[in-house]
Amino acid sequence: MARVLVPEKIADAGLNALRAAGHEVDVQLGLTPEQLIEAVKGAHALIIRSATTVTAEVLDAGTDLVVVGRAGIGLDNVDVAHATARGVMVVNAPQSNILSAAEQTMALMLAQARNIPQAHGALVAGRWERSKWEGVELADKTLAIVGLGRIGKLVAQRAMAFGMRIIAHDPFISPDRAQAMNIELVSLDEVAAQADFLTLHVAKTPETIGLIGEDFLSKAKPSLRVINVSRGGIVDEAALADAIREGKIAGAALDVFEKEPTTESLLFELPQVVVAPHLGASTAEAQDKAGDTIAEQVLLALGGEFVPFAVNVAAGEASETVRPFLRVAEQLGRLFAGLGEGLPSNVEIEYAGELAGYDTRILTLSVLKGFFGAVSTEPVSYVNAPTLAEEQGVEVNESSTSSTVDWINLISLSGGGRQIAGTLVGLKAEPRLVQIDGHSVDVPPSEHLIIVRNDDRPGVIGRVATALGDAGVNIADMDVGRSSRADGALMVIATSEAITPEVEQALRSADGVTSVSVAHA
């Protein structure tokens, strides 16, 4: 059972799923930064929304943290780099509010085009100002979308229904892909030259901060209206206010601001501006989706499983073919560490068979997680395993081949004079060790394994079994390795419990035994 700290309001369905899985859900709303540092101590997971800032100090205080979950998309309130260094997984719910954000974009676009908030305010204040708030139609106008991701595509679909012409700027989208959506890709300068409406759907990064600033606005059409439902700071608010005040552009609609919460801005003084207090994800449906999704991701992270929405794990999605091999890859890594003394300078990982045709980066992370988990006193996760390899000077190389001799799929590890390979067999996809140091074996990667190298002559197997029996150690499984090389024999023995150093020494002293390795999967 893990303790999950929740300092913000999260949908009950998600929290109940965590409780049903046996975890303690500790809801403490309204914590100050100082109180959060105290509350996070002993927590294994931290689930937040946008109001809580997860700083390096919070992460350092949460020495037991496995995962930080953000119930939403943006992560500018989480120190992801420090979390990665600490081996803490950071996950979000990137698809939970995309529909709500797209609809908010359209709502603000229409509100800006037709001056609805201004007219509403005047009327409820007792003023009938019909002629003052004349607007413009969306039909036949050019909408520029900066960031043609999930939300940008939804906005494009909805804007087309209004008869708008769509152009877009996104360096990560191919022209062919954009053309298939009936969208023309253009440069940022061309956006300024052509757009009547501009909507932003990009992450807040050093490259996008101030993206819509004085230089861009000086090139814009006088009819331009800027809509931002992405992140504050992407639009230079002072430059935007100046451009509207001086008549360089027609207006703006903003849902997000550089500093939040905020109740004061130069933009608030301008009648051509429509604003909202970051309502993009504020729908009942989006909050339910975010709570459900983040609970699922946190459950996977706490269980050591592959987490699809982990933002600081250097791997793609695990396909249905790859996913079953995650556990055996980690077991192989742990056993590989026990085959020799010290860390090898390099680890070669080969994927053979059907696996060779898939993205296997998550399997490599599983191998490293198992390997360093066996030799490190610090917690090891998918997040920090590559960093540990780099810090320890272990070079990791991957290769793939579509052919195998005896197996449909095979994962093989080698380096530092040691080698091990494994696969899944049967309809139940049961893990098997099938090679150790070039010897063919067939044994499950059990929790406690003894690898005995010995002279290939009668009596040695009996002496090893007798030594274990005399020590009261139960043999759960055993296989004798076969090799085409004339370099002795090999035994792989699975025991019900770990053997003591004294038993290990007794095995080494047995007549005919040349070496003994102890590995724990």
In this structure, are 145 and 291 located in the same domain? no
371 with 478, same domain? no
Q: What pLDDT is recorded for position 387?
A: 85
What's the confidence (pLDDT) of residue 486? Answer: 58
pLDDT tens readout for residues 180-217: 999 999 999 999 999 999 999 998 888 999 999 999 99
Q: Please tell me the predicted confidence (pLDDT) of residue 483.
A: 65
What is the helix (H) or strand (E) element at residue 256, kind and residue range? none
Residues of the chain with pLDDT under 50: none
Last residue of a domain, one of 393, 411, 429: 411
Question: Does the residue 239 lie in any domain?
Answer: yes
Residue 265 inside a domain? The answer is: yes
Strands (E) across 74-175 are located at 89-92, 142-146, 165-169
**Number of domains within the chain:** 4
Question: The domain that contains 395 carries what CATH number?
Answer: 3.30.1330.90
pLDDT for the residue numbered 127 = 97
Would you say residue 425 lies in a domain? no
Tell me, yes or no, whether 230 and 295 share the same domain.
no
pLDDT at 482: 66
What per-residue confidence (pLDDT) applies to 405? Answer: 65
* 147 closest CA partner among 176, 180, 183: 183
Q: Is residue 74 located within the same domain as residue 177?
A: no
Residue 419 maps to a domain: no
- 130 and 252 belong to one structural domain: yes
Q: Which residues are catalytic?
A: 231, 260, 278
Whole-number Å distance between alpha carbons of 102 and 100 = 5
| Residue 111 shares a structural domain with residue 241 | yes
**Residue carrying the six token digits 């046996």:** 22
Do 270 and 217 share a domain, yes or no?
yes
Q: Please report whether residue 424 resides in a domain.
A: no
361 and 460 together in one domain? no
- Residue 310 within any structural domain of the chain: no
| Residue 36, token pair as written in the block | 């959060």
> CA geometry: angle at 172 spanning 169 and 175, to 5°?
65
What pLDDT does 308 receive? 84
Do 267 and 294 share a domain, yes or no? no
How much is the pLDDT for 317?
A: 65
The residue range of the domain holding 213 is 98-275
- Pick from 411, 429, 458: which residue ends a domain? 411
CATH classification at residue 484: 3.30.70.260
CA atoms of 447 and 518, how far apart (whole Å) = 11
Return the number of other C-beta atoms located less than 10 Å from residue 359's C-beta. Answer: 13
For residue 274, the cross-strand partners are 253
DSSP assignment of 78-130: B-HHHHHHHT-EEEE-TTSSHHHHHHHHHHHHHHHHHTHHHHHHHHHTT---T
Q: Is residue 17 part of a domain?
A: yes
Are 152 and 254 within one domain? yes
116 and 85 in a common domain: no
Q: Give the separation between CA 133 and CA 164, rounded to whole angstroms.
A: 22
Q: Are residues 246 and 104 in the same domain?
A: yes
- CATH number assigned to the domain comprising residue 37: 3.40.50.720
- 94 token code pair: 């990137």
- The pLDDT, as a whole number, for residue 89 is 94
Entry pTM: 0.67
Is the residue at 474 inside a domain?
Answer: yes
The upper half-sphere exposure of residue 249, i.e. CA atoms within 13 Å in the direction of its Cβ, equals 33
